[in-house]
Amino acid sequence: MTDSHKTFDVSSDDAGQRLDRFLSAQLPGQSRTHIQSLLEEGRIRVDGIARKASHRVEEGESVRIDLPEPRASHVEPEAIPLDILYEDDSVAVINKPAGMTVHPGAGNESGTLVAALLDRYGAKGLSTVGGPLRPGIVHRLDKETSGAMVIARTDEAHLRLVDEFRDREVEKIYIALLHGNLKGDSGVVELPVARDLRRRSRMTARRREGRAAKTAWRVLARAGAAFTLIEAELHTGRTHQIRVHFSALGAPVVGDTLYGAPRQERVDKTPLAPLGRNFLHAARLAFDHPLTGRRVEARALLPEELVRYLESLAAAAKLKPHSFDVALAPYL
C-alpha cells in the first residue's frame, strides 16, 4: 500500500488557530483522536516541519498531511496454531511467536494473531472494544518479539484490563540479550519515548515531547564484555519501549538492527549465526482476573531458537556449557 497526501494553505481567516483545530475543520471526516495520532507519527508537517497540536498556524503556511491508505474493514479467520498459556470465558493468554504480527497493518494483511484468534474463538468469542481489525487485542508485542499476551474475550473484560494497564497493575517481565556490557547489576531507565520524525518506523528517546516511560532491569548473566543478559520489567507500555531504552544506553537488543545492533554479532573474531529475530521475550505476565479478581500469572518459556543462540554464544565465549541455565531457570 502507498500513502496519499493532502495539502492545505492557511488563509487569513484561519490564522491563529491551533493546528489540531485547523485540521479538524479541513478534515471533517477524521476524528480528533486520529488527527492526534497523525501528528504523533510525524505525518503532518507545517512548511516541512513537524509541529505540535498546539502550534498556532499563520497565514501563508502550507500544511501537508500524509494519509495512510484505508485498510480492510475486517479480518478473515486463518487456521494458525496457537500456544495457549491460559484460557477461560473472559480472557486468554497467548504465547505469541516471533515473526507474527498482532493485527493487520501495511504489509502484514495475513498470518496475524488476530486471524488465528478469530479462527479459534470466532468474532462472538472476542471483545469488540478495539474495533473489527483488533478484536480481543488489549496490548501488543512487536512482530519480532515473542511471549505472553493477554486477550480479552468480552467487552467487560477488555475495559477492566485497559484500566489495569493504565493503572500499572499488570506485571510484565521480559528477557533480553543486549549487545554490550551494561554498567551495574540493576537499574531503572526513565526516558520519554516519541515517534522518530525522520524515520516513522522508529521511536526515539531524544524528543522532549515524548511520553513518560519507565523500565526497571537487573542483570542475569554476562558473556564477557560483549553481551549482557537481563530481566526487564515494564512499568509503562510505550511502543518499542525496551528496544528504545537500551539502545539509548548504548546496549541495543541483539538482533535489533533498527535500533543499532550489528547485523553480524561476533565474540572476539568468532562470528555467531544470525539470530533472525530480536532477542526479546515477554516471559511473565500477571494481572487481576477482570471477573473474579483472582491474580492470574502466565509464564512463556524461552523459545528454542533463543536457547540455542545462548548455547552458541557460550561456546564462542568459551564459557561452561549451559552457563546461562541457572540464571534462566524460571524460564526454561
Catalytic residues: 142
Query: Which among 63, 57, 62 is positioned nearest to 15, based on CA atoms?
Result: 57
Backbone angles phi, psi at 213, to 5 degrees: -145, 140
- Write down the residue that cell numbers 524460564 correspond to: 331
Contacting residues for 186 by C-beta, under 8 A, at least 6 apart? 216, 217, 218, 219
The span from the CA of 306 to the CA of 276, in Å, is 10
- Write down the residue that cell numbers 502550534 correspond to: 55
Asked if 100 contacts 110 with a C-beta cutoff of 8 angstroms, the reply is: no
The span from the CA of 79 to the CA of 120, in Å, is 8
Cα 323 from chain centre: 30
Query: How would you label 241-267 residue by residue, b for 16+ Cβ within 10 Å and e otherwise?
Result: bbbbbbbbbebbbbbbebbbbeeebeb
